[in-house]
Amino acid sequence: MASLHVSTHPLVAHHMLVLRDPATEPPAFRRVVRQLTRLLAYEATASLPTTDVTQRTPLAEARGRRLADRIAIVPILRAGLGMADGLLEIIPDAEVWHIGLYRDEHTLQPQEYYNKLPPNCGATLALVVDPMLATGGSAVRTCEILRDAGIGRIAFLALIASPQGVATLERDMPDVAIHVAALDEGLNDVGFIVPGLGDAGDRQFGTSPH
Protein backbone atom coordinates (compact mmCIF):
# COMPACT_ATOMS: atom_id res chain seq x y z
CA MET A 1 0.00 0.00 0.00
CA ALA A 2 2.67 2.48 -1.06
CA SER A 3 0.15 5.22 -1.89
CA LEU A 4 -1.69 4.95 1.45
CA HIS A 5 -0.91 7.43 4.22
CA VAL A 6 -2.65 6.81 7.55
CA SER A 7 -2.27 9.75 9.91
CA THR A 8 -0.50 9.10 13.21
CA HIS A 9 -1.14 12.58 14.59
CA PRO A 10 -2.45 12.53 18.19
CA LEU A 11 -5.05 15.21 17.44
CA VAL A 12 -6.41 13.14 14.56
CA ALA A 13 -6.79 10.12 16.85
CA HIS A 14 -8.47 12.28 19.50
CA HIS A 15 -11.01 13.82 17.11
CA MET A 16 -11.82 10.47 15.50
CA LEU A 17 -13.28 9.27 18.80
CA VAL A 18 -15.73 12.18 18.74
CA LEU A 19 -16.91 11.21 15.25
CA ARG A 20 -17.34 7.57 16.18
CA ASP A 21 -19.42 8.41 19.26
CA PRO A 22 -23.13 7.97 18.36
CA ALA A 23 -23.98 10.67 20.92
CA THR A 24 -22.20 13.36 18.86
CA GLU A 25 -24.89 15.64 17.43
CA PRO A 26 -24.78 17.02 13.85
CA PRO A 27 -23.40 20.50 14.72
CA ALA A 28 -20.46 19.00 16.63
CA PHE A 29 -20.04 16.28 14.02
CA ARG A 30 -19.74 18.85 11.21
CA ARG A 31 -17.23 20.89 13.24
CA VAL A 32 -15.01 17.88 13.88
CA VAL A 33 -15.18 16.84 10.21
CA ARG A 34 -13.79 20.26 9.30
CA GLN A 35 -11.10 20.03 11.99
CA LEU A 36 -9.98 16.57 10.88
CA THR A 37 -9.94 17.62 7.25
CA ARG A 38 -7.63 20.52 8.03
CA LEU A 39 -5.25 18.20 9.87
CA LEU A 40 -5.26 15.70 6.98
CA ALA A 41 -4.75 18.49 4.49
CA TYR A 42 -1.58 19.69 6.24
CA GLU A 43 -0.12 16.21 5.73
CA ALA A 44 -1.48 15.71 2.20
CA THR A 45 -0.13 19.04 0.95
CA ALA A 46 3.28 18.96 2.65
CA SER A 47 5.16 18.36 -0.60
CA LEU A 48 3.25 20.69 -2.94
CA PRO A 49 5.49 22.60 -5.35
CA THR A 50 6.10 26.29 -4.73
CA THR A 51 7.67 29.22 -6.52
CA ASP A 52 10.08 31.66 -4.90
CA VAL A 53 8.70 35.17 -4.53
CA THR A 54 9.62 38.47 -2.90
CA GLN A 55 7.02 40.20 -0.77
CA ARG A 56 7.22 43.78 0.40
CA THR A 57 6.47 44.11 4.15
CA PRO A 58 5.87 47.39 6.05
CA LEU A 59 9.61 47.41 6.84
CA ALA A 60 11.53 45.70 4.04
CA GLU A 61 11.38 42.93 1.45
CA ALA A 62 10.97 39.31 2.51
CA ARG A 63 11.64 36.20 0.51
CA GLY A 64 8.93 33.56 0.55
CA ARG A 65 7.22 30.79 -1.38
CA ARG A 66 3.85 30.71 -3.09
CA LEU A 67 1.90 27.61 -4.11
CA ALA A 68 2.58 26.75 -7.73
CA ASP A 69 -0.50 24.57 -8.23
CA ARG A 70 -3.94 25.58 -9.36
CA ILE A 71 -5.97 23.45 -6.94
CA ALA A 72 -9.48 22.06 -7.28
CA ILE A 73 -11.36 20.61 -4.32
CA VAL A 74 -13.75 17.87 -5.43
CA PRO A 75 -16.27 16.73 -2.81
CA ILE A 76 -18.23 13.59 -3.61
CA LEU A 77 -21.81 14.60 -2.81
CA ARG A 78 -23.24 14.81 -0.34
CA ALA A 79 -21.04 13.59 2.48
CA GLY A 80 -17.92 15.25 1.05
CA LEU A 81 -19.34 18.76 1.48
CA GLY A 82 -18.19 19.08 5.10
CA MET A 83 -14.66 18.11 4.18
CA ALA A 84 -14.65 20.63 1.32
CA ASP A 85 -15.50 23.37 3.82
CA GLY A 86 -12.52 22.33 5.94
CA LEU A 87 -10.16 22.47 2.96
CA LEU A 88 -11.45 25.87 1.86
CA GLU A 89 -10.54 27.28 5.26
CA ILE A 90 -6.85 26.66 4.54
CA ILE A 91 -6.89 26.88 0.70
CA PRO A 92 -9.43 29.69 0.14
CA ASP A 93 -8.31 30.31 -3.45
CA ALA A 94 -9.09 26.75 -4.55
CA GLU A 95 -11.86 26.01 -7.01
CA VAL A 96 -14.65 23.67 -5.91
CA TRP A 97 -16.03 21.13 -8.34
CA HIS A 98 -18.95 18.90 -7.35
CA ILE A 99 -19.54 15.30 -8.38
CA GLY A 100 -22.64 13.47 -7.20
CA LEU A 101 -22.57 9.70 -6.86
CA TYR A 102 -24.75 7.31 -4.93
CA ARG A 103 -24.15 3.65 -4.26
CA ASP A 104 -26.70 1.19 -5.56
CA GLU A 105 -27.71 -0.73 -2.45
CA HIS A 106 -28.09 -3.98 -4.39
CA THR A 107 -25.00 -3.96 -6.62
CA LEU A 108 -22.87 -1.60 -4.44
CA GLN A 109 -21.79 0.09 -7.69
CA PRO A 110 -21.59 3.91 -7.99
CA GLN A 111 -24.29 5.71 -9.95
CA GLU A 112 -23.53 9.23 -11.19
CA TYR A 113 -26.32 11.81 -10.86
CA TYR A 114 -24.49 15.17 -10.83
CA ASN A 115 -21.35 16.55 -12.45
CA LYS A 116 -20.41 20.22 -12.10
CA LEU A 117 -16.92 20.42 -13.57
CA PRO A 118 -16.02 23.62 -15.42
CA PRO A 119 -15.89 23.52 -19.24
CA ASN A 120 -12.13 24.04 -19.08
CA CYS A 121 -10.62 22.11 -16.18
CA GLY A 122 -7.35 23.96 -15.85
CA ALA A 123 -6.41 22.80 -12.35
CA THR A 124 -3.09 21.04 -11.95
CA LEU A 125 -4.10 19.19 -8.76
CA ALA A 126 -7.46 17.81 -7.62
CA LEU A 127 -8.11 16.99 -3.96
CA VAL A 128 -11.02 14.54 -3.85
CA VAL A 129 -12.78 14.35 -0.49
CA ASP A 130 -15.25 11.83 0.89
CA PRO A 131 -15.47 10.90 4.58
CA MET A 132 -15.68 7.16 3.88
CA LEU A 133 -13.59 5.05 1.50
CA ALA A 134 -15.68 1.88 1.73
CA THR A 135 -15.88 -0.32 -1.38
CA GLY A 136 -13.82 2.17 -3.40
CA GLY A 137 -16.26 2.31 -6.30
CA SER A 138 -17.23 5.97 -5.91
CA ALA A 139 -13.62 7.00 -5.37
CA VAL A 140 -12.46 5.23 -8.54
CA ARG A 141 -15.34 6.62 -10.62
CA THR A 142 -14.62 10.16 -9.43
CA CYS A 143 -10.94 9.81 -10.31
CA GLU A 144 -11.91 8.46 -13.74
CA ILE A 145 -14.10 11.52 -14.35
CA LEU A 146 -11.23 13.81 -13.39
CA ARG A 147 -8.75 11.90 -15.54
CA ASP A 148 -11.10 12.21 -18.52
CA ALA A 149 -11.23 15.96 -17.86
CA GLY A 150 -7.44 16.15 -18.15
CA ILE A 151 -6.44 16.35 -14.48
CA GLY A 152 -3.01 14.78 -14.16
CA ARG A 153 -2.50 14.80 -10.38
CA ILE A 154 -5.10 13.62 -7.87
CA ALA A 155 -5.05 13.01 -4.12
CA PHE A 156 -7.88 11.36 -2.21
CA LEU A 157 -8.68 12.35 1.39
CA ALA A 158 -11.01 10.32 3.62
CA LEU A 159 -11.66 10.15 7.32
CA ILE A 160 -12.07 6.36 7.49
CA ALA A 161 -11.08 3.71 4.95
CA SER A 162 -11.54 -0.03 4.66
CA PRO A 163 -8.73 -2.27 3.39
CA GLN A 164 -11.03 -3.31 0.53
CA GLY A 165 -11.63 0.30 -0.56
CA VAL A 166 -7.93 1.13 -0.40
CA ALA A 167 -7.07 -1.97 -2.45
CA THR A 168 -9.63 -1.08 -5.12
CA LEU A 169 -8.46 2.52 -5.43
CA GLU A 170 -4.79 1.52 -5.50
CA ARG A 171 -5.46 -1.15 -8.13
CA ASP A 172 -7.42 1.11 -10.49
CA MET A 173 -5.67 4.42 -9.74
CA PRO A 174 -2.14 3.50 -8.59
CA ASP A 175 -0.80 7.05 -8.89
CA VAL A 176 -3.45 8.60 -6.62
CA ALA A 177 -2.16 9.32 -3.11
CA ILE A 178 -4.60 8.27 -0.38
CA HIS A 179 -4.64 10.15 2.93
CA VAL A 180 -6.89 8.87 5.72
CA ALA A 181 -7.39 9.49 9.41
CA ALA A 182 -8.07 5.82 10.20
CA LEU A 183 -7.90 2.44 8.49
CA ASP A 184 -10.66 0.23 9.90
CA GLU A 185 -11.16 -3.54 10.00
CA GLY A 186 -13.29 -4.03 6.90
CA LEU A 187 -16.82 -4.04 5.46
CA ASN A 188 -20.01 -5.67 6.66
CA ASP A 189 -22.38 -7.57 4.38
CA VAL A 190 -24.04 -4.37 3.11
CA GLY A 191 -20.78 -2.56 2.36
CA PHE A 192 -20.53 -0.32 5.45
CA ILE A 193 -17.17 0.21 7.15
CA VAL A 194 -16.78 -1.58 10.50
CA PRO A 195 -16.39 -0.31 13.19
CA GLY A 196 -16.77 2.95 11.23
CA LEU A 197 -19.04 5.74 12.42
CA GLY A 198 -22.34 5.07 10.67
CA ASP A 199 -23.55 7.08 7.66
CA ALA A 200 -21.36 10.18 7.44
CA GLY A 201 -23.87 12.12 5.35
CA ASP A 202 -26.79 11.42 7.68
CA ARG A 203 -24.74 12.28 10.74
CA GLN A 204 -23.54 15.57 9.26
CA PHE A 205 -26.91 16.77 8.08
CA GLY A 206 -29.23 15.38 10.73
CA THR A 207 -31.05 12.90 8.51
CA SER A 208 -30.34 9.75 10.51
CA PRO A 209 -33.45 7.64 11.16
CA HIS A 210 -34.68 7.91 14.74
Assess whether 85 carries a catalytic annotation: no
Question: Does residue 55 lie within any of the structural domains?
Answer: no
pLDDT in tens, 132-156: 999 999 999 999 999 999 999 999 9
Assess whether 130 carries a catalytic annotation: no
155 contacts 177 by C-beta, under 8 angstroms: yes
Tell me how many degrees the CA angle 75-81-82 measures, rounded to the nearest 5.
125
Cα separation, 108 vs 60, whole angstroms: 59
- Active-site residue among 8, 51, 57, 107? 107
Q: What is the pLDDT of residue 209?
A: 67
54 contacts 61 by C-beta, under 8 angstroms: yes
pLDDT in tens, 23-58: 999 999 999 999 999 999 999 999 999 999 999 999
Question: Does residue 210 lie within any of the structural domains?
Answer: no
Question: Does residue 28 lie within any of the structural domains?
Answer: yes
The pTM assigned to this predicted structure is 0.90
Confidence tier at 108 by pLDDT (50, 70, 90) = low
pLDDT in tens, 151-173: 999 999 999 999 999 999 999 99
The greatest distance separating any two alpha carbons of the chain, rounded to the nearest whole angstrom, comes to: 65
Q: What is the pLDDT of residue 76?
A: 93
Mean of per-residue pLDDT scores for the chain: 91
pLDDT value at 112 more than 90: no
Question: Does residue 52 lie within any of the structural domains?
Answer: no
Assess whether 21 carries a catalytic annotation: no
Question: With DSSP H G I counted as helix, E B as strand and the rest as coil, what are the percentages for the chain, rounded to 5?
Answer: 30, 30, 35
Question: Does residue 64 lie within any of the structural domains?
Answer: no
Of 143 and 121, the one with more pLDDT: 143
Question: Does residue 54 lie within any of the structural domains?
Answer: no
Assess whether 135 carries a catalytic annotation: no
Question: Does residue 135 lie within any of the structural domains?
Answer: yes
Question: Does residue 63 lie within any of the structural domains?
Answer: no
Confidence tier at 1 by pLDDT (50, 70, 90) = very low
- Active-site residue among 31, 34, 103, 147? 103
CATH number at residue 171: 3.40.50.2020
pLDDT value at 210 more than 60: no
In the chain, the number of structural domains is: 1
- Domain region containing 147: 4-46+70-205
